[in-house]
């Protein structure tokens, strides 16, 4: 069963758009929540095929758009709402994830009968891997963590020393989205939020605190987030499992749009390894 573009309304906050993929059996299944990365969205590339594979393995799979990722309820793909994108930050993404977990495990969720409240797995891709890791380190509801091509350090990605003064002066900086050709704005509040929450947003500290099973999957030739970042995550938590993918990239052979009806081989391997880890 597939339910797409469900709206989670929140008072005084932007709503969250989410999808559910599952076998409707009225029997409880482990809940898997997928967090997309920077410049990402729940409908990117082959993510639907990924969700279907998890559902076939009898898992309740949820993917969602972070509330300030630049999508809207009406147009969840790409970035029609650059004003929201400019106001995004790591703290908002952690709050989004928390609100979604609370809702999915509550009686307000129409699919509650399908979900095992004692099995919650968080998967994060790229920047979403950092968000998932921090959340897993501080939330006892989460029982397993899986990171795909995850970053290991938010600090070095937030600002370089050379651009900081100009960013503060202008109040905004822009990053080109190579695919859509949009200039994506980041308001200076992004940096201010990071500095105000620097201890909490330290991924190294979060990984060292983990006491749950942690699977790290990363392509050896990832051009966007180097494999050495996966090695660092594994070194900080030696009990974790590091699974390298050979001859692949940051998105494991997928692209957007993905018009094939099957997963690319590297991503299929990622999915199979992740399902095996959960089971």
Check pLDDT > 90 for residue 161: no
DSSP 3-state assignment of 12? coil
CB atoms within 10 A of CB 77: 14
H or E, element range at 217: strand 214-219
Rounded mean pLDDT of the chain? 97
- Largest CA-CA distance found in the chain, in angstroms, rounded: 56
- Taking residues 254-272, report their average pLDDT: 98
pLDDT in tens, 37-71: 999 999 999 999 999 999 999 999 999 999 999 99
Structure confidence at residue 159 as a pLDDT band (50, 70, 90): confident
Q: Where are the domains of the chain?
A: 2-154+200-278
Q: What is the pLDDT of residue 176?
A: 94
3-state helix, strand, coil split of the chain in percent (to 5) is 35, 25, 40
Q: What is the pLDDT of residue 160?
A: 76
Name the CATH superfamily for 2-154+200-278: Alpha/Beta hydrolase fold, catalytic domain (3.40.50.1820)
DSSP state, 192? H
DSSP letters, 220-260, are TT-SSS-HHHHHHHHHH-TTSEEEEESS--TTTT--SS---
As a whole-number percent, the residues of the chain with pLDDT over 90 amount to 97
């Amino acid at each position: 069963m597939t339910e797409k573009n469900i709206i989670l309304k929140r008072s005084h906050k932007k709503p969250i758009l989410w999808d559910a993929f599952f076998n409707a059996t009225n029997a409880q299944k482990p809940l898997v929540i997928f967090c997309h990365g920077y410049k990402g969205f729940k409908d990117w590339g082959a993510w639907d095929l990924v969700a279907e594979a998890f559902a076939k393995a009898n898992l309740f799979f949820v993917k969602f758009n972070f509330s300030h990722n630049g999508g809207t309820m009406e147009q969840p793909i790409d970035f029609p709402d650059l004003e929201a994108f400019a106001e995004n930050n790591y703290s908002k993404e952690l709050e989004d994830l928390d609100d979604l977990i609370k809702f999915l495990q509550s009686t307000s969720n129409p699919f509650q009968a399908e979900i095992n409240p004692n099995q919650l797995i968080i998967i994060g891709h790229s920047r979403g891997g950092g968000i998932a890791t921090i959340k897993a380190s501080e939330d006892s509801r989460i029982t397993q963590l899986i990171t795909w091509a995850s970053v290991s350090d938010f600090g070095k990605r937030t600002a370089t020393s050379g651009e900081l003064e100009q960013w503060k002066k202008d109040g905004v900086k822009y990053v080109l989205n190579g695919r859509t050709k949009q200039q994506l704005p980041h308001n200076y509040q992004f940096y201010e939020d990071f500095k105000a929450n620097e201890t909490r947003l330290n991924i190294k500290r979060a990984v060292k605190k983990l006491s749950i099973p942690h699977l790290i999957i990363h392509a050896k030739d990832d051009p966007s987030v180097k494999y050495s970042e996966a090695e660092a995550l594994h070194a900080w938590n030696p009990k974790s499992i590091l699974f390298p993918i050979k001859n692949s990239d940051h998105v494991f052979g997928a692209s957007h749009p993905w018009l094939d009806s099957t997963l690319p081989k590297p991503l299929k391997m990622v999915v199979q390894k992740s399902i095996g880890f959960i089971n």
